[in-house]
């Protein structure tokens, strides 16, 4: 028997606290850092375990999702779900290949700056993409700001997309990539966007949190998604609040903030939109929901070369969460204004909402990097049709 395995999180997005190793069981827990209460994000690597079977026992709350851990054997380049059959009593067991050097495990499938860079490299030199910087983070990192589509100032309409207000919500980033892929792609929808629409995209609102491996949700002293009231305490939310009204120039018609919900339970394993108290805005969210359903079922009035090629993650409007139901109440926003509330007050804006994309299972179907990107492509098609019909 070799010595104990090396368990650490010394890489972008890493998060784990190792309490002890006894025989072939490692006792671990997520690092909550500046989180108020509890949350569930973790991401760690294991070396020196080739050919062994090891149990990883979490000592705190239940932090393993409905498809078990995500696992990568190539340094985080690709991921698969390990499966719920490996999970028992808030822990999981894994048998390492005889030639294993490093194996990584995560709550879900990480999306970090390196993933974004890899995506952007595919479109290097495109006249329809400008890479910029929203601001410097508290720790000196560049918070990316992307403009894509009709970026010459002559667009008819503008669209704002934000992601990772809660830095652990990585599956939403894969869906965002699917939207951007459509806008920049060669197919019919991309061609239409590049003639008519300018997109402003903030891929990591909490850039430091994503790279440092923080929870982000219920961060102290303030959650990033409650930092849209009074004086913003985070550079990125403050910079966004200053930039968007000027950039909009009266043409902003659609603003979507992309999230992931809780890791399990009723309502958290379905794709859904979250409403605000603004009933006129909610009417438009309901309308967009109808369009998205139609896109996915091939019933859209506007046909394209992609008609009928929807992704495998199915959205149903009946799963939406209107204001006043479940957690979506005034009390939930008592600590500050959310992006949705702030964006909904911008002049001329027709649609402001957030979408919740489950971490692992949506309607009983596995959420992966690829299926989330396919959902993003469906969302892009629905955005086109909404803008054509409603704006």
Residue 6 pLDDT level (bands cut at 50, 70, 90):
very high
Q: How high does pLDDT run on average in the chain?
A: 94
**Residue 148: which CATH number?**
3.40.630.10
Tell me: pLDDT of 304 over 70: no
Looking at the predicted structure, is the pLDDT value of residue 283 above 70? yes
Q: Can you give the pLDDT at residue 390?
A: 82
In this structure, are 329 and 259 located in the same domain? yes
Q: What is the pLDDT of residue 303?
A: 46
DSSP run (H or E) holding 211: helix 207-212
Q: What is the mean pLDDT of residues 337-357?
A: 92
**Does residue 1 lie in a domain region?**
no
90 and 203 both lie in a single domain: no
Is the pLDDT score of 306 beyond 70?
Answer: no
Angle of the 188-196 helix axis to the 171-184 helix axis, nearest 10:
80
> Is the pLDDT reported for residue 1 higher than 90?
no
Candidates 229, 223, 215; CA nearest to 170 is 215
pLDDT score at 15: 98
Number of domains in the chain: 2
CB count in 10 Å sphere of residue 307: 14
Mark which of 65, 88, 106 sits at the end of a domain: 106
In the predicted model, is pLDDT for residue 230 greater than 90?
yes
pLDDT above 60 for 302: no
On whether both 92 and 48 belong to a single domain, the answer is yes
- Which structural domain, as residue segments, surrounds residue 74? 6-106
- Specify the CATH number for the domain of residue 63: 2.60.40.3120
Domain final residue, candidates 87, 106, 125: 106
Clarify whether residues 16 and 147 are in a common domain.
Answer: no
285 vs 333, which has greater pLDDT? 285
Could you tell me if 137 and 264 lie in one domain? Answer: yes
pLDDT in tens, 172-222: 999 999 999 999 999 999 999 999 999 999 999 999 999 999 999 999 999
Question: What does the pLDDT look like over 57-110, one tens digit per residue?
Answer: 999 999 999 999 999 999 999 999 999 999 999 999 999 999 999 999 999 999
- State the pLDDT at residue 299: 55
The rounded distance, in Å, linking the Cα atoms of 314 and 306 is: 16
């Amino acid at each position: 028997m070799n010595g104990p395995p090396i368990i650490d999180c010394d890489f972008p997005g890493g998060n784990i606290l190792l309490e002890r190793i006894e025989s072939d069981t490692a006792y671990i827990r997520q690092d909550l850092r500046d989180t108020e209460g509890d949350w569930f994000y973790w991401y760690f690597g294991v070396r020196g375990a080739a050919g062994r079977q090891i149990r990883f026992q979490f000592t705190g709350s239940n932090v393993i999702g409905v498809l078990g851990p995500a696992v990568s054997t190539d340094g985080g380049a690709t991921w698969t779900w390990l499966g719920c059959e490996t999970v028992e009593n808030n822990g999981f067991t894994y048998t390492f290949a005889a030639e294993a050097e490093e194996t990584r495990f995560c709550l879900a499938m990480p999306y970090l700056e390196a993933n974004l860079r890899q995506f952007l490299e595919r479109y290097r030199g495109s006249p329809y993409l400008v890479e910029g910087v929203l601001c410097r983070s508290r720790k000196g990192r560049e918070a990316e700001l992307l403009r894509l589509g009709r970026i010459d100032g002559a667009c008819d309409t503008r669209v704002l997309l934000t992601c990772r207000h809660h830095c652990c919500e990585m599956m939403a980033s894969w869906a965002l990539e699917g939207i951007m892929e459509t806008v920049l792609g060669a197919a019919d929808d991309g061609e239409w966007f590049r003639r008519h629409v300018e997109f402003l995209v903030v891929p990591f609102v909490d850039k430091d949190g994503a790279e440092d491996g923080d929870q982000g949700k219920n961060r102290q002293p303030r959650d990033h998604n409650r930092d849209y009231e009074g004086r913003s305490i985070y550079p990125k939310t403050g910079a966004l609040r200053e930039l968007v009204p000027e950039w909009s120039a009266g043409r902003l018609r659609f603003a979507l903030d992309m999230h992931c919900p809780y890791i399990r339970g009723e309502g958290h394993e379905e794709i859904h939109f979250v409403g605000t108290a603004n009933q006129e805005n909610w009417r438009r969210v309901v309308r967009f929901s109808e369009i998205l359903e139609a896109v996915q079922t091939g019933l859209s009035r506007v046909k394209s070369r992609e008609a009928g090629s929807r992704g495998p993650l199915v959205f149903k409007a009946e799963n939406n969460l209107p204001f006043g139901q479940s957690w979506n109440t005034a009390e939930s926003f008592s600590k500050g204004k959310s992006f949705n509330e702030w964006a909904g007050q911008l002049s001329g804006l027709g649609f402001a909402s957030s979408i919740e994309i489950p971490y692992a299972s949506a309607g009983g179907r596995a959420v992966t990097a690829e299926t989330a990107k396919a959902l993003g492509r469906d969302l892009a098609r629905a955005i086109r049709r909404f803008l054509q019909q409603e704006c």
